[in-house]
Chains A and B, each alone.
Chain A
């Protein structure tokens, strides 16, 4: 009986070892495939670039992209050099000074920083809408579950600010699982939340409480979750001119005949304002490359070059929702990718 089991086990072992023509080779010795870890916002773009990179030359190994979040990605990236650590970290923010120091301490001294584009979240309304102009603080007071720690009693926009139209607060937006929602909370709600000095001070004393006060969105029906589908939000807006919607900027651009952006802090969401970072709902996306790995793992330079060239307007990445960076930033990225210029960390925070 024991014999039979072992025969069975070895049989299935042999079956599993059947060769796939597309399979990557064994991992004996040095690593042959590029390892990428980090931000879930950058993940879909990194995936698309990985695919294009592999399709560009069938001799290349498929890069492996992990979605661990920016912090987790940079932590692994900074753990040291060698085949156990990733070659590239994806980040939806700049690397922090402390992370850079950790990197240095662990021997990761040569880091190349490349901004691949911009992530934009816009607040929009139907073109038949009343033409809202809001500040971050007004959006926060209207949508937070507990603005500045007190229950939210506002029902109409005019309750928030008498100068605003006398219509009920109703905003369509993505659910909790969405990265767009996170970015909306981080970029717009938190900015509005910080306008109150007492709440801002809470960040130092009780960070959890601060996060809850600043990021939690009301659940009494004023904010209507619409699933992960930004297109649906756009459609609903054109049918309900008095409502607002939160969605990725690329959807607004695509549907400019039915929706228009709501100006925040007197800046309308348009390509220029987002690309230069003047619109509050915009954040730059980065990749960090370990220069010490460039000679060890084949294809890193080509992968980065592919990423940078795909970050232009109208490319496959912008179809996935990436916003191309302004020309001077792109030029800098091109140069950094071509020359592998390392950063010295002097201007990091």
Chain B
């Protein structure tokens, strides 16, 4: 009879045995390989991000700078003695319009730089002069030296990427200290234009902002209420299963389909204004909503049942349970889902193509019903341009888009942390 408690005798593992040693080595090697694979995966994505950021910033920083040419305006002669008083008061607008500012600018440049210089300045220069005259009517009675932005060929030549011909001009002007580089405020305040030296991002940025406000205002409440209903109230049956499957499928539908839906529903049936940020926002809301519903349901599901039971147990009504307890606890998760959906909406161009937001619009939208474009659309349009001056503007617009995205994420993280600590 053997004692069942006694283990059969077993020799201790012989670690110095070469076969064992090899096995151990193999194990360590496998460990190292695994770590290396992981390291390379991370390194690769960091590298990709670094290359993206370096090229974008490298190309794009120049887009935030503009080259200006010094032009001396002998305004009393050029305007044949217009008085400063005529530029004040009610008739000022008409007085300025009656002046041939385009001719005046062309003449002043020609006088200073010779007959080939008509194209040195951007088409925007006369309008800048107009604004200056409106701000300071007394200027008209004196000789003024004004820095005005140069046209794109000279602009990129000054930045070292132009054609040989333009670089020669830029070098001569630079040697005479007639060119300077300054921060391109115009890029932050203007809209699309044909000359890359005149373009700005504000129109597209405002369009994106208005569109996202509509998207958030529709998709967030609808998504959250749908999630609450499905999790807290809806009976579990075939119908709700079907709804659940549909919502999951909807989240994976290619975005262009939503564009077609928006075209038919909002433009054709409801006759809403084409290209407006209202229609864009509604279309993107359709796309974002399923993402919010799914994230919201998961977040609500993750709230422990004990919270609900405790609240019900001390006499809270179901609505109080939801709004006082479940929702605050689920909100960080819902916000994460919302921000993912909104970030996707921010980067989308395909649905906007169908509803006419991929367009040349040279003024910022004044409201939700005005024709607008959006940041990714603007980037797409500029990247398609033949003119080389648009390369740096495209990268600069991408930088703005990334900053916008970071700002949105930062807001979401702030809100999430705020609500997380409250409870």
Interface residues of A (CB under 8 A from B): 1-2, 9, 12-13, 16-17, 19-20, 22-28, 33, 35, 37, 43-44, 46-48, 50-51, 54-55, 58, 62, 64-67, 84, 177, 228-231, 320-321
Contacts and interface: CB of A to CB of B under 8 A. Distances in A.
A123 to B, nearest CB: 19
B378 interface: no
B362 A48 contact: no
Given A20-B366, A24-B371, A62 B361 contact: yes
Contacts of A26: 366-367, 369-370
A47 B193 CA distance: 8
Given A27-B273, A27-B276, A62 B194 contact: no
Interface string B196-221: 00000010001001100100110000
A287 to B, nearest CB: 15
Interface string B222-234: 0000000000000
B65 interface: no
Given A17-B367, A20-B364, 8 more contacts: A16-B209, A16-B210, A20-B363, A35-B274, A48-B194, A58-B97, A64-B360, A230-B386
B137 interface: no
A9 B328 CA distance: 18
Interface string B319-342: 000010001100100000000000
A19 B216 CA distance: 21
A19 B331 contact: no
A24 B366 contact: yes
A10 to B, nearest CB: 10
Nearest to B211: A16
Nearest to A82: B271
Interface in B346-388: 356, 358-367, 369-371, 381, 384-386, 388
6 contacts: A1-B422, A2-B327, A13-B217, A20-B366, A48-B194, A65-B359
Interface residues of B, number: 45
B360 A65 contact: yes
B419 interface: yes
Contacts of B217: 9, 13
Contacts of B419: 1
B328 A64 contact: no
Contact of B363 (A17, A22, A35, A84): A22
Given A33-B371, A55-B123, A16 B206 contact: yes
B328 A25 contact: no
Contacts of A16: 206, 209-210, 213
A190 B163 CA distance: 35
B267 interface: yes
A191 B301 CA distance: 64
Contacts, number: 103
Contacts of B283: none
B183 interface: no
Interface in B78-131: 97, 123, 127
Interface string B267-298: 10001011110000000000000000000000
A239 B97 CA distance: 51
Nearest to B335: A5
A23 B206 CA distance: 11
B356 A23 contact: no
B356 A24 contact: no
B366 A25 contact: yes
Contacts of B327: 1-2
B366 A64 contact: no
A159 B32 CA distance: 57
Contact of A23 (B163, B273, B366, B388): B366
Given A9-B216, A23-B365, A23-B370, A67 B193 contact: no
Nearest to B209: A16
A43 B274 contact: no
A62 B363 contact: yes
A66 B217 CA distance: 28
B362 A54 contact: yes
**5 residue pairs, one from A and one from B, having the closest CB atoms:** A23-B366, A65-B360, A66-B359, A27-B369, A27-B273
A2 B362 CA distance: 38
Contact of A62 (B206, B362, B367): B362
B325 to A, nearest CB: 12
B251 to A, nearest CB: 23
A55 B360 CA distance: 15
Contacts of A22: 191, 363-364
B193 A51 contact: yes
Contacts of A48: 194
Contacts of B191: 22
B362 A23 contact: no
B194 A47 contact: yes
Contacts of A19: 366
A26 B371 CA distance: 9
Contact of A43 (B206, B323, B360): B360
A67 B358 contact: yes
Contacts of B206: 16, 20
Contact of A12 (B213, B271, B358): B213
Nearest to A55: B123
Contacts of B216: 9
Contact of A84 (B267, B366, B371): B267
A66 B358 contact: yes
Contacts of A230: 386
B370 A84 contact: no
A231 B388 CA distance: 11
A13 B213 contact: yes
B274 A84 contact: yes
Nearest to B127: A55
A321 B385 CA distance: 13
B91 to A, nearest CB: 15
Contacts of A51: 123, 193-194, 362
B256 to A, nearest CB: 14
A43 B364 CA distance: 20
